[in-house]
Structure 1
Amino acid sequence: MISVMIKKSPRWRASGLKYSLEQQLEISGENNWSTPVIYRDGPRYSPEQKRQQHSGQRFSTLWILLIVFLPTLLLCSHLNGQKLELNIQTDDFSWEDNVPSFTSLSELNDYLTEWRDRQFQDAYWEASVDSLLQLDSLNYQAHLHRGPAYQWQDLRPDATIPPRWLSKAGFRTRLFRKGRLLVHEDWLIVRDSLASTAANNGYPFASVGLDSIEWSAPGVLSAGIFIDRDSLIFFGAPRIPEGARINQTFIQRYLNITPGEPYNRRTIQRLPNRLRRLPYLKLRGDPTVTFEGNEAIIELPLERKAASRFDFVIGVLPNSAQTGNLLITGELNGELQNGLGQGERIAVRFQQLRPQTQELQLQFEYPYLLNLPFGLAVEGDLYRRDTQFINLNYRLAATYRWRTANRIDVFWSRRQTNLLGFDESRVVITDQLPDTLDVRRSFFGLGIDRDETDQVFNPRRGYRLGLSLSAGNRRIKRNQKLLDLGLGPRYDSLELDNAQYNLTGQVQYYRPLLAGTVLYLGVNAGAYLSDAPLLPNEQYRLGGAKLLRGFDEQQVFASSYAILTTELRLLLGRDAYLYTFGDFAYVNPRNQAIPDAPNDYPLGFGAGLSFNSKAGIFAVSLALGRRSGEVLDVGAPKVHFGYLSVF
């Protein structure tokens, strides 16, 4: 809800239309927060038009009579299980329906009211029950009047109304051309849409209505559309409490409020939802709009909210497929949100995946660089695979945000692999290059992220969508140690320089089912497209607590993959829930070392619990997994313990 305060002189408008049909059609409406109905003076009426006016008032007169005499009628209706009969008399149409019997007078009255409403829907705006007479204790007679079906002669927008406004309002001349039925809703849609369009273009006090009204024949209406725009209103600078610790320019950019720009009601209506999506700010109440002169000043009752976090996950993997023994893995995450008051984000992630295998990731995001609508995102990733190789990846992106949680990235990324060591004796004996080689890859790409969930953490409904497409060049670098061993000719058999494409996508869907339960469906997919087969150190690495549960961390290597996740959550609180899950995957493991390997279809399933306490949020999960052709080993579950602290 948005509260509104108007600091200006009250505006009085004439209210001269007394013609009941025009009042019933609500021919005018002003662009106020409650959108009251107003009326505008019209032309004088001929005797024939006054006759139509009188017929349009018949129904209201009948209601007054019913209110006065209803108690008497009810007292006289001692039915004792008998039925009431109704005889219909008409003066300008033929009654063809079969009239049922009624158990009470109220049921009979509802029948007549429904008949009148159906006539209104068919544009018979004079339809009324002229009289309802009680012939005896069980018989009634109703006299009905329908009148002509009302039609448009034409509806002409005023020349001062911008065509763009009419188009946005959905106005089409053909909807109001000669012979078209005068449908109430058609006009109301145009009227309200025009008023909203004016409010979105700097005129929050604009009023829209009909003028130049003429009845060219009984039931045939010709009119024009007018807009009284009132004052042009501009946005002023939003007012933010000092304790919120947020930069004024950031808030203006984020909320799309630029001082000096025309007022936009749609922007105001989106304020609460946009502000709730900022994890480091909290709304203490509803935003308030104050109109001072020709400026709209927005009061934002914000306060700082803890959003930076530290968390860790410990994995206990008995009988690990990688080591054959108990394997303990660890992951540490740190994230600093809005530390400088600019909406920036700094994140660090460290993983110990297996003995002598570590990964370090760094991220920095700055939403609005130099007060421009574009931001900057920088990422770095260092992955060391025991003594075999080390991957160094970095990514630089220009970001553009729209509609709060949605953004577009245009990025450049560089990925390189440096060979650390290899089995020299094996290489010399087989006279073959090792499975992993030095590789350099450069990509240019486009990424799109869209978030339409109801809340950032633990959503109840909505969806998230992410898509990334990139193209670049992949080059294999000759390793000097291998050249010294005389394996230079083996490089000549490889395609050392070729084009490569990368496509990844994620979809998350949340939907509440029974009370206190949420269904989560997710799809994660990725593929490398290239004429030359990938090396193992170029492939995706799957498995672990985040993706494809039930397997060791980054145990599964893939050139392309797709994972369907289903999860049923039983909500225990805002950040607490019990869940069961299943991960169903397709994996293409083929690479240069195993070019003919069959597709794999891993399956993982299990359950978990997330709960909060004063110290933070704790989580525990247990998962089992199996690959194609393997027997499920219930004695080797993957157990993960997690902790999250927000500060």
Structure 2
Amino acid sequence: MAKILEYRCYLLFICCIACVQVTAQKKYTLHITSTDNKTDLLQALPLQTTFTQKNVCWQYAQQLPALLATRGYISAAIDSIWQTDSTVYLQLFVGEKYVWNQFAVATADWPLLNQLGVYPQTFATKPFNQQKLQQLFEQLIQYFADNGYPFATVGLDSVKLEQGNISAKLHIEKANAYLIDTVIVSGNIKISANFINRYLGINNKDVYRQNKIDDINQRLATLPFLVQYQPYQIEMVNTGAVVRLYLNSRSSNQINALVGFQPANQQLGGKLLLTGEANINLRNPFGNAETLAINWQQLLAKSPRLNLSFQRPYIGHSPLGVTAGFELYKRDSFFITVQGKLGANYAISGKKQLSVFVQWNNTAVLNMDTSYIKITKRLPDIADLATTGIVLQYDFNNTNYRFNPRMGNELQLSTGFASKNIQRNSAVLAIKDEAFNYSSLYDTVKQKTYAVKSKMVAAHYFPLGKQATLKTGVQAAWLQSANYYQNEMYQIGGFKTLRGFDEEGIFTNRYAIGTVEYRYLLAQNGYFFVFTDGGYAAYKSNSTSNSHTYISAGTGISLETKTGIFTIAYALGKRNDVQLDVRQSKIHIGFVSIF
């Protein structure tokens, strides 16, 4: 009895599989005939006639007249269509095929058409293609709208149809030229008209450009200190356009602090380390979109960092802005660095900016290892340095939303050249030994030399569905000099560069880091993410050199607050020559101020 039951179950299973296979293999056929005796012509065309879904077959049949129109059959139309269980029957009126005999264009219009990729041979003797012609019309209308003619019209004139040939003349009516008459701001925002005009690229008496108008909402959305309380309006008066903006101020000044603890270890003497970060950010304090920022942080033991910065865009009626900065950084008891910069930035467009600034840097060794010097008769890989140089920087951002993008690109390139002066350290000069003159160690060092630094940060965002994105990014930097010292090198690792490793725990003179990160958007400025970072870093000094590869992975979440974006991430990293240790995983906490 059990055997019979087993055979029945087996037979039922075979039948189910057979039914599934029959269902999966079912085909639907499109049967096409012509009411004007051109069935042979249809059969010669590369038309699809077999489908796996009936609705797809039906939709394809209804689109055939439009497809034939792109091949010159401009009068093609469906005469009748019906369907049975597995076949869709279509009767088409194909009509006559039309070929361009003449596409006449005024001599003055050819340079513009050439600019759009249209030449005399583009249409000559080619089948008439309504879709291609419509695309040309749309390109021309968009061009004129972006160059002062928002009411331009484009069409065909003197159309002639003769024995399968078509002749026509391109007719362009530009209508009146328009300028920007004025930009009027309503609302309680206190902002200079010069900034609004420059920032939007819409200045009084400028040529009217529709693409600038279309960018208004996106551009204003990136300013944290204002909000549109109703959509902008465009009024066309005589030959001028009045742009009306409705803006209110939005609370954006920031005073905040983050506090944390680093677990006890031998370096800390068995005590917890209080770590933290404090920010004071004032945005638009004087009504010119200025930014004044003060940032203090201590992420490592006895290693505070203080940053001061000031930026103001569009000085006077020029596209130039000014930027200034000051940084003080103390690395434990090893060295202290003071850095300043002053420069100008040029807004090429709303998405591109070029900056140039003078930068000076002074580093002083706090605790010179004289024991090492006495034993080795060599200077250590740390020195008192003074550098002065010039830096050129290019920024590009065409993302859909600067602070939490789903699509687009980010790019920052910078390169700088500086003169470097190695100063004699008083602790070395104070070493006294009758058998050896330690001050002579500096005679073997090239004290006046150079330093070249280049850096790139880039990212691309691939939209996935409606609420997700895939970020791919790269960070790379390179330092070139006649000699190298640890206190002039890049410091990477941690939340902003290589997650899963200690904050600024890796000294390097050249590195490259790649990132792949999946984000699921929770809000305008919030998202859940999983990521992997991988990188290479090299260390080259006057006495040693090495290189390592790094890999890390983790997850985290970014949450929008009233003053910015708070991010917490868990990451586990591994260096190529170190065993993986889950106990060395990191929790990174970050805060991004929205400027």
TM-score (norm 2): 0.81
Aligned pair partner of 1:229 in 162, 174, 179: 174
Structure 2 match to 1:146 = 95
Residue identity opposite 1:186 in structure 2: K
Distance apart, 1:585 and its partner CA:
2.6
Structure 1 match to 2:577 = 629
The 1:306–1:114 alpha-carbon spacing in structure 2 relative to 1, beyond 3 Å, is closer
Q: Is residue 525 of structure 1 aligned with residue 476 of structure 2?
A: yes
Distance apart, 1:556 and its partner CA:
1.5
Output the CA distance in 1 between the equivalents of 2:501 and 2:58.
Answer: 70
Distance apart, 1:225 and its partner CA:
2.1
Aligned pair partner of 1:398 in 344, 358, 368: 344
Structure 2 match to 1:602 = 550
Where do residues 481-630 of structure 1 align in structure 2 (5 Å cutoff)? 481-485=427-431, 486-513=437-464, 516-530=467-481, 532-593=482-543, 595-596=544-545, 598-612=546-560, 619-630=567-578
Aligned pair partner of 1:380 in 314, 326, 342: 326
Output the CA distance in 2 between the equivalents of 1:568 and 1:226.
Answer: 50
Per-residue deviation, residues 507-531 of structure 1 (Å, max 9, x unmatched): 233345466544433322211123x
Q: Is residue 266 of structure 1 aligned with residue 190 of structure 2?
A: no
Structure 1 match to 2:244 = 299
Distance apart, 1:567 and its partner CA:
3.5
Which structure has the highest strand share of the two? 2
Structure 1 match to 2:122 = 175
Output the CA distance in 2 between the equivalents of 1:107 and 1:525.
Answer: 49
Distance apart, 1:609 and its partner CA:
3.8
Output the CA distance in 1 between the equivalents of 2:308 and 2:594.
Answer: 19
* Residue pair 1:316, 1:638 contacting (<8 A) in 2 also: no
Structure 2 match to 1:219 = 164
The 1:206–1:519 alpha-carbon spacing in structure 2 relative to 1, beyond 3 Å, is closer
Output the CA distance in 2 between the equivalents of 1:560 and 1:372.
Answer: 37
For 2:68, what is the secondary structure of its paired residue? helix
Residue identity opposite 2:575 in structure 1: R
Per-residue deviation, residues 324-356 of structure 1 (Å, max 9, x unmatched): 644332222222211111111122211224443
For 1:254, what is the secondary structure of its paired residue? helix
Output the CA distance in 2 between the equivalents of 1:112 and 1:623.
Answer: 54
Distance apart, 1:608 and its partner CA:
3.4
Please identify the structure whose Cα radius of gyration is greater. Answer: 1
Unpaired runs of at least 5, structure 2: 1-28, 82-88, 432-436
Distance apart, 1:114 and its partner CA:
5.7
Q: How many percent of aligned residue pairs carry the same amino acid?
A: 30
Structure 2 match to 1:121 = 70
Per-residue deviation, residues 435-462 of structure 1 (Å, max 9, x unmatched): 3212222333321222222223333333
Residue identity opposite 2:384 in structure 1: D
Q: Is residue 194 of structure 1 aligned with residue 145 of structure 2?
A: no
Distance apart, 1:164 and its partner CA:
4.5
Residue identity opposite 2:395 in structure 1: D
Q: Is residue 287 of structure 1 aligned with residue 287 of structure 2?
A: no
For 1:146, what is the secondary structure of its paired residue? coil
How many correspondences in the alignment? 547
Q: Is residue 165 of structure 1 aligned with residue 102 of structure 2?
A: no
The 1:231–1:600 alpha-carbon spacing in structure 2 relative to 1, beyond 3 Å, is same
Where do residues 21-32 of structure 1 align in structure 2 (5 Å cutoff)? none
The 1:266–1:631 alpha-carbon spacing in structure 2 relative to 1, beyond 3 Å, is same
Output the CA distance in 1 between the equivalents of 2:60 and 2:444.
Answer: 89
The 1:416–1:229 alpha-carbon spacing in structure 2 relative to 1, beyond 3 Å, is same
The 1:525–1:641 alpha-carbon spacing in structure 2 relative to 1, beyond 3 Å, is closer
Larger CA deviation: 121-130 vs 557-566? 121-130
For 1:243, what is the secondary structure of its paired residue? coil
Structure 1 match to 2:273 = 327
* Residue pair 2:323, 2:344 contacting (<8 A) in 1 also: yes
Distance apart, 1:221 and its partner CA:
2.7
Output the CA distance in 2 between the equivalents of 1:267 and 1:222.
Answer: 37
Distance apart, 1:291 and its partner CA:
0.6
For 1:601, what is the secondary structure of its paired residue? strand
The 1:213–1:517 alpha-carbon spacing in structure 2 relative to 1, beyond 3 Å, is closer
Residue identity opposite 1:166 in structure 2: L
Larger CA deviation: 352-361 vs 123-132? 123-132
Output the CA distance in 2 between the equivalents of 1:414 and 1:378.
Answer: 12
Output the CA distance in 2 between the equivalents of 1:581 and 1:573.
Answer: 19
Where do residues 414-433 of structure 1 align in structure 2 (5 Å cutoff)? 414-433=360-379
Q: Structure with the greater relative contact order (CA < 8 A, sep ≥ 6): 1 or 2? A: 1
Q: Is residue 156 of structure 1 aligned with residue 101 of structure 2?
A: no
* Residue pair 2:201, 2:350 contacting (<8 A) in 1 also: no
* Residue pair 2:254, 2:563 contacting (<8 A) in 1 also: no
Output the CA distance in 1 between the equivalents of 2:60 and 2:531.
Answer: 54
Aligned pair partner of 2:404 in 458, 463, 468: 458
Distance apart, 1:583 and its partner CA:
3.1
Output the CA distance in 1 between the equivalents of 2:468 and 2:138.
Answer: 39
For 1:340, what is the secondary structure of its paired residue? coil
Larger CA deviation: 369-378 vs 473-482? 473-482
* Residue pair 2:494, 2:588 contacting (<8 A) in 1 also: no
For 1:600, what is the secondary structure of its paired residue? strand
Residue identity opposite 2:385 in structure 1: V
* Residue pair 1:287, 1:301 contacting (<8 A) in 2 also: yes
Distance apart, 1:243 and its partner CA:
0.7
Structure 2 match to 1:40 = none
For 2:177, what is the secondary structure of its paired residue? coil
* Residue pair 2:569, 2:587 contacting (<8 A) in 1 also: yes
Output the CA distance in 2 between the equivalents of 1:416 and 1:472.
Answer: 12
Distance apart, 1:244 and its partner CA:
1.7
Distance apart, 1:571 and its partner CA:
4.0
For 1:246, what is the secondary structure of its paired residue? coil
Residue identity opposite 1:497 in structure 2: K
The 1:620–1:400 alpha-carbon spacing in structure 2 relative to 1, beyond 3 Å, is same
Output the CA distance in 1 between the equivalents of 2:244 and 2:384.
Answer: 58
Output the CA distance in 2 between the equivalents of 1:413 and 1:465.
Answer: 22
For 1:369, what is the secondary structure of its paired residue? coil
Per-residue deviation, residues 356-407 of structure 1 (Å, max 9, x unmatched): 3221111111111122011112222111223432212222332122442431
Larger CA deviation: 87-96 vs 253-262? 87-96
Structure 2 match to 1:437 = 383
The 1:320–1:297 alpha-carbon spacing in structure 2 relative to 1, beyond 3 Å, is farther
Per-residue deviation, residues 21-66 of structure 1 (Å, max 9, x unmatched): xxxxxxxxxxxxxxxxxxxxxxxxxxxxxxxxxxxxxxxxxxxxxx
**RMSD of the alignment, in Å?**
3.7
For 1:196, what is the secondary structure of its paired residue? helix
* Residue pair 1:463, 1:509 contacting (<8 A) in 2 also: yes
For 1:434, what is the secondary structure of its paired residue? coil
* Residue pair 2:201, 2:349 contacting (<8 A) in 1 also: no
For 2:401, what is the secondary structure of its paired residue? coil
For 2:540, what is the secondary structure of its paired residue? coil
Output the CA distance in 1 between the equivalents of 2:176 and 2:365.
Answer: 70
Where do residues 22-101 of structure 1 align in structure 2 (5 Å cutoff)? 90=36, 97=43
For 1:188, what is the secondary structure of its paired residue? helix
Unpaired runs of at least 5, structure 1: 1-82, 133-139
The 1:405–1:332 alpha-carbon spacing in structure 2 relative to 1, beyond 3 Å, is farther
